[in-house]
Amino acid sequence: MPMIVDALARSEDDAAVRGLIDAFGGDPVEVRDGRFGEPAVRSRRLSFASGGEIILRDGIVNAAILHLMPTSFAPQGISLGEWVAPLRNDATLADLKTVFGERWGFAQGGSRYFTLDACYVRADDKRGGGLRSLAFLVDDPKPTCRPEDDLCPTCSDLLVRDDRGAVAIDGTVDALAAGVDAGELKEEIGSPVALADLRLVHASGLLEWVESHVSCTACARVMCFTLYRDSDPTFGYYPMDVAWSRPHDPIPPVEEWGDARRIAEVHDAMRYVDHEPGSWFLVEQRGDLYLDARYAINSMVDDSALIRLDESELRQYEQRGHDYLNELARRVNDEGPHREESPFRGRDLTRHPTDARKYQESFSAAIANHTWAASLKHSAARRRRANESADD
């Protein structure tokens, strides 16, 4: 293990790194090299027939990985005991603790990792249990993406550059949109700005920066494409929980930045009206009101039903407002729309035979900036503004 730890955070021509390369078997059987993100990072991945791997970022060793199972480049996998005595390939969590200590947590994707004085060690399990690999890392694996995903073939080369090497905004937005349409990417519900609106909001100059979030279905990283009022764009990769906690300012009304077509679309779409945290949301579309109310199926599982308010319910809402919706949401919960006999089952638009997905997507878009995650983003933005004011 000391040989691995000594090679971390060193350049490829450093003696410690050359020693690790020799110990892994000398010449790698596979080398992958490329750039990702903006500012661009060069990632270089050296794979050895022994089952070892070294990943460098901008010429510096960022990770060394011991693959215990056969891979495309290592027919047998590595023997853990030769590198981390006294561990064996069938080591348990208790065994890992005896070597790496008690300071452990969960990394992105659910893998356990240990915090050592000199590095981090991530233990990846195989399906059905047992170790698949050990990764020795420079960066904390909880708030960062896996180095193995640097050159993900699905998402690492989506950033488009012009002839001068600068970020091509139109080309990049189009590439991301094409990936979403192909099902290879997913536009995140709750993205600060919808991908289709990114250029319009940016062009308005109303905000210091605007950002869209799109996730990769292959590696699960979230791409944050950020356009700044007074500086060059950035294109970063983040774990999902880190991406949605990034601060951003609320988006101004569409009338302040949209073109005629976009303004008409927004006016015709569902829009947020009110909500009770953890219980219900109220949205409106073309004069109709829709209540999305959560209900319990059992002590472990809940769901929600989206119902259009009928005339009687509309009158009650006009008279009693928020309090009436609390009462109606309790009725939905008590009646349980998952049951065949529930009077709300047939009214639940998420069960609509042909338009269920349309209703769900429209509702999700309407409340995107009013969810718990969005509230954390807004709080972070307020703290940032307060800190900037204090600095001034």
Tens of pLDDT, residues 238-247: 998 899 888 8
Report pLDDT for 385: 55
| Cα separation, 93 vs 332, whole angstroms | 45
Give pLDDT tens digits for 166-214. 999 999 999 999 999 999 999 987 788 999 999 999 999 999 999 999 9
DSSP H stretches of helix in 31-166: 93-100
| Cα separation, 78 vs 1, whole angstroms | 13
Report pLDDT for 392: 58
Beta carbons within 8 Å of 92's beta carbon, 6+ residues apart: none
Q: Which of 27-41, 124-138, 208-222, 366-380 has the lowest mean pLDDT?
A: 366-380
Give pLDDT tens digits for 39-52. 999 999 999 999 99
Report pLDDT for 139: 97
Interval 114-128 mean pLDDT: 91
Q: Categorize the per-residue pLDDT at 119 as very low, low, confident or very high, splitting at 50, 70 and 90.
A: very high
Tokens of 152: 């993900």
Indicate whether 382 pLDDT > 70.
Answer: no
- Kindly report the number of other CB atoms within 10 A of residue 34's CB atom: 15
DSSP H stretches of helix in the chain: 2-7, 15-24, 93-100, 169-182, 198-204, 240-244, 260-268, 311-320, 322-335, 356-367, 372-391
Interval 345-369 mean pLDDT: 89
Report pLDDT for 377: 56
